[in-house]
Amino acid sequence: MNPYLAGVILGLVLLLSFYLTGRGLGASGAMKSVVVTGVEVVAHEKAATSDFYGKYLEGESSPMKNWLVFQVLGVLVGGFLSGALAGRLSLKTEHAPGITSRKRMLMAILGGALFGFGSQFGRGCTSGAALSGMATLSLAGFVTMIAIFGTAYLFAYFFRKNWI
């Protein structure tokens, strides 16, 4: 799809989210719910008294009964439907010809871990902090966006063999 048209559609979905719920879109928040639930199941006492996990366990219902969790389940379905329509469904590991699949998988785990860690530090990821934050003109949104993309540019040279 033309990227500008895809951007307009994404912008309208984001606007609809604000119109209906008063908040934008998100992704890392749902992953946090998964982690908090996991820790709660394995180590109930520890989770309840932790400064970090505790604040998501104060309510009576499970942290999985959360708006963002259902929204991210929708992302899975929406992505699958789009991929099916475009004929892009296939199990594969995508990487540059210069590196092995194994290296790509290790880099994906490492990159994911850094992004996950950073998303908690920065109170949201590209969706919740940068994109949704910019839509409301929040200073935090612009700062997070510049920090994410600026840093990725700064480090791009060192990781070029992974991509080109």
Partner 1 sequence: MAPIIPIYEISQELNFLIAFIIGIGFGFALEQAGFSSSRKLAGMFYGYDTTVLKVFFTAAIVAMLGLLFLNHWELIDMSIIYVNEYYINSAIIGGVIMGVGFIIGGFCPGTSVCAAAIGKLDAMAYLGGALIGIFLFGETYPLWKDIYMKNYLGGIKLSTTLGISDGLLIFLIIAAATLMFWVGEWAEKKFRRSDISKEL
Residues of this chain, 12-41, that bind partner 1 according to CB under 8 A:
12-28, 31-32, 34-36, 38-39
- Using CB under 8 A, which of 51, 58, 59, 60 touches partner 1? 51
- Using CB under 8 A, which of 45, 58, 60, 164 touches partner 1? 164
User: What angle do the packed helices 28-42 and 101-121 form, to 10 degrees?
Assistant: 90
Cβ–Cβ < 8 Å for 84, 90: no
Binding mask 75-104 for partner 1 (x = CB under 8 A): xxxxxxxxx--x-xxxxxxxxx-------x
- Regarding 117 and contact with partner 1 (CB under 8 A), the answer is yes
When the beta carbons of 12 and 48 are compared against partner 1, the nearer one is 12
One DSSP character per residue, 10-79 reads HHHHHHHHHHHHSS---SHHHHHHHHHHHHHHH-HHHHHH-HHHHTTSSSSS-TTSSHHHHHHHHHHHHH
Q: Least distance in Å: CB of 48 to partner 1?
A: 13
Q: Least distance in Å: CB of 86 to partner 1?
A: 7
- Using CB under 8 A, which of 44, 49, 52, 98 touches partner 1? 52
> CA-to-CA distance for 33 and 56, rounded, in angstroms?
8
- Using CB under 8 A, which of 7, 41, 44, 48 touches partner 1? 7
Angle at 41 between CA 38 and CA 43, to 5 degrees: 100
> CA-to-CA distance for 23 and 128, rounded, in angstroms?
9
- Using CB under 8 A, which of 41, 44, 159, 161 touches partner 1? 159
